[in-house]
Amino acid sequence: MISMARSLPILGRTWSEFVGALIPSAIAGCLTYLAVTLARETLAMQGVTLLVALICVGIVSYFVSGWLVNRRGCLEALALARGVLSVRAGPTSS
């Protein structure tokens, strides 16, 4: 992150643009942490069952919070993934 901050002038970006790009992901991460912590305290499970439940809570909460906080970024990532998958699939021959 320090290297990126030093590269900002070369890239023609400002510190506020850099921090502004990080905030949505940081908020989504904090909301996910909160959801997993609350789930750990409220679920009456132990061992592997609790671990699997917390992983599922974390996955769902990160996707939902990411979509709510950073919809544009999620759509960009989805478009990128679709582009990569379509290139990897190659042309279909009939």
Domain ranges of the chain: 2-88
Amino acid (1-letter code) at residue 3:
S
Q: Residue 51 — pLDDT band, cuts 50, 70, 90? A: very high
- pLDDT at position 6 is 84
- The H or E element spanning position 26 is helix 15-42
Comparing C-alpha atoms, which of 75, 55, 54, 57 is closest to residue 66? 75
Instruction: Output the pTM of the full model.
Output: 0.72
Q: Which residue has the higher pLDDT, 93 or 80?
A: 80
